[in-house]
Amino acid sequence: MRPPKFLNWQKPLFLILLGSLFLLCRPPGTEAQTGKGLDLWIHPYLPATELVNHFAPLAAYLEKELGQPVRVKIQSSYQSHIDFVGQNHADLAFMGPAGYVAMRRQYSPKPLLAKLEEKGSPFFRGMIIVPRDFAGNSLTDLKGKSFAFGDPNSTMSYIVPRAMLQEAGVTLADLKRHDHLKSHHDVALAVLGGYFDAGAVKDEVFEAYSKRGLRALATSPPVPDHIFVTRSDLPPQLVARLRTLLLAIKQHPQGQEIMGAIKGNITGLVPVEAKDYDQLEKMMRSVIGD
């Protein structure tokens, strides 16, 4: 028996509705696979406007090479960045070492693309800072003093300086008081302004403020540098292409400009493996536990 004629026009309508339902149900970020663009997500270690300027040249480079838009997006907090990447919503993500380790501890592994190389080394450092006239030259002199940390998920503004203080025998209870500020800049300005006796920042922020009256009371051990990762469901061919493009920046005619915009002393982007961050994970466990 032939179906009633009214079903002949209902079938195309059904297919349209089915297609619309599929589009609505796609997981976040799926549009990147269809050439509509990629979002590069950054954790807020500096003010958002600065970060957009820092990463705009990289986004423009990737956009030109990939033939699709690449947009710079800034997360509202370190933890939201960790969760967003961990839940597989970020097409591309730039992560601090501690943020990356926290993400892989809480969520499934993500494809790794490259890590930064600074002054020819894939490591970077942080400083515990004090005003230039601070009466003390060792970390033990911070007992009874106030201390400004950055975000609890910040590598050089919390995890590493906590480990440094711990090794020197200075606990949080030994401090007069401590607090978490939003960014490295906020920490530097708070110490300069006399709101805290000491604080912890990454090297580039210390260099920016040292001439205004800061000095380094202690310098951190080297830590594997910042890392680029992708969603685990990004097409393998695109992941491979992104990795190739990042590793090739050093040879690009505008490579120094692109890298210098991110951070002044970057000399390249280099291959990365998950095991590079195993020692940092041990340090994090000693500071914040499992």
Whether 217 and 279 map to the same domain: the answer is no
Selection from 198, 196, 201 nearest residue 185 by Cα: 201
Whether 6 maps to a domain, the answer reads no
pLDDT less than 50: residues of the chain:
1, 3-9, 11-34
17 class by beta-carbon count within 10 Å (0-12 exposed, 13-18 middle, 19+ buried):
exposed
Give the model's pLDDT for residue 290.
64
Identify whether residues 118 and 239 lie together within a single domain: yes
**Mind listing the pLDDT tens digit for each residue in 2-25?**
544 434 435 444 443 444 443 344
Which of 221, 238, 269 is the last residue in one of the domains?
Answer: 221
Residue 243 lies in domain? 30-122+224-288
Decide if 160 is inside a domain. Answer: yes
Q: How many degrees, rounded to 5, is the angle at CA 77 between CA 74 and CA 81?
A: 65
pLDDT digits (tens, 9 = 90+) for 137-163: 999 999 999 999 999 999 999 999 999
Specify the pLDDT at position 271.
Answer: 97
Query: Residue 35: its pLDDT value, please?
Result: 60
Expressed in angstroms, the distance from the first to the final Cα of the chain is 67
In the listed set 221, 253, 279, which residue is the last one of a domain according to the structure? 221
Please count the structural domains in the chain. 2
Task: Say which CATH number the domain at 265 has.
Answer: 3.40.190.10
Would 44 be classed as within a structural domain? yes
Q: Which of 221, 236, 265 is the last residue of a domain?
A: 221
